[in-house]
Structure 1
Amino acid sequence: MNTATQPPFQRDQFYARDRRSVAAARRLARGALHYWGLADWDRADDLSLCVSELATNALAHGVPPGRGFLLRVRYDGDLLRVELHDSGPGEPRVPDAADEAGRGLLLVAALSDKWGVQPRRPGKAVWCEWDLVSR
């Protein structure tokens, strides 16, 4: 068996602290789905929206001036995972109902099967996943 054509597959891209990076990150994620044969996956739009929200949050709250963020999209045959790494402080959280800000993470929580935050030095990685087997 040719293991070069078998999962896991991963795409990593570093983006500058620039609002155009959100659309570029979304294009990378959709391109990866297409390349992996998942362009017609019924939750592809959910993944795109989650990438947009995570990238927007990173630019607004997590990426210090002069820095950027790393987007990682990984597919292992059973699971799709999106990670967004930034070097800023703080821990993202889903807001309370009364909060005016932070609605993006509500979308990520609602559209993905799981999400979370991993500490890094410096910063953090915010991730979300979709289980392709149990659906």
Structure 2
Amino acid sequence: MPATETFRIPKHRHHVSTARHRLRKALADWGVAGEQADLVTLLANELVTNAVTHCRVSHAQVRVILALHGTELLLEVSDPDRDRLPRLHDSAPDEEGGRGLALVAALADSWGCRQERYTKCVWARWETSVPPVP
């Protein structure tokens, strides 16, 4: 059975740190540490920040799911702005933002997005050397 951490945060920038801390704790509880935990936390920060920044639905909640299935970590971040799927683009050197998905694409083993009935979900996967949680 996979280990899973699921929660929702309000769509406000100051709640991004709450998501980071909850995910970091779950990773530690599962024995994922060091560079692997840093990587997952960094990319979770990017995906959650994108969700709270770009979702146009007022008073929305962002759902975060982190799961460890065997040696695979899966992160899913969903928001109710289902018709605005994220896309990679080249950021100019003087732009302050716009590199989050490029980081996810470069550092995750795989990533993507999908439309669900009422939400969109952006996900990323990584292989880890951590043994399965009993």
- SS of the residue 2:9 aligns to: strand
Shift of 1:93: 1.0
Residue 60 in structure 1 maps to residue 60 in structure 2: no
Structure 2 counterpart of 1:26: 20
Q: 1:33 to 1:97 in 2, by over 3 A?
A: same
Q: 1:63 to 1:25 in 2, by over 3 A?
A: farther
Deviations 1:18-55 (A, max 9, x none): 11211111111111111111124x32111111111111
Structure 1 counterpart of 2:119: 123
Structure 2: segments with no counterpart, 5+ residues: 130-134
Moved over 2 A (4+): 96-102
Work out whether residues 63 and 86 of structure 1, in 8 Å CA contact, stay in contact via their aligned partners in 2. Answer: no
Q: CA RMSD in A?
A: 1.7
- Residues 94-103 or 77-86, more deviating: 94-103
TM-score under structure 1 length normalisation: 0.85
- SS of the residue 1:106 aligns to: helix
Shift of 1:64: 1.3
- Cα distance in 1 between the residues matched to 2:115 and 2:21: 26
Pick from 49, 57, 69: which aligns with 1:76?
Answer: 69
Shift of 1:96: 2.9
Work out whether residues 23 and 41 of structure 2, in 8 Å CA contact, stay in contact via their aligned partners in 1. Answer: yes
Equivalent pairs: percent with the same residue? 37
Structure 2 counterpart of 1:91: 85
Q: Which amino acid is the alignment partner of residue 108 of structure 1?
A: V
Structure 1: segments with no counterpart, 5+ residues: 1-6
How many residues align? The count is 126
TM-score under structure 2 length normalisation: 0.85
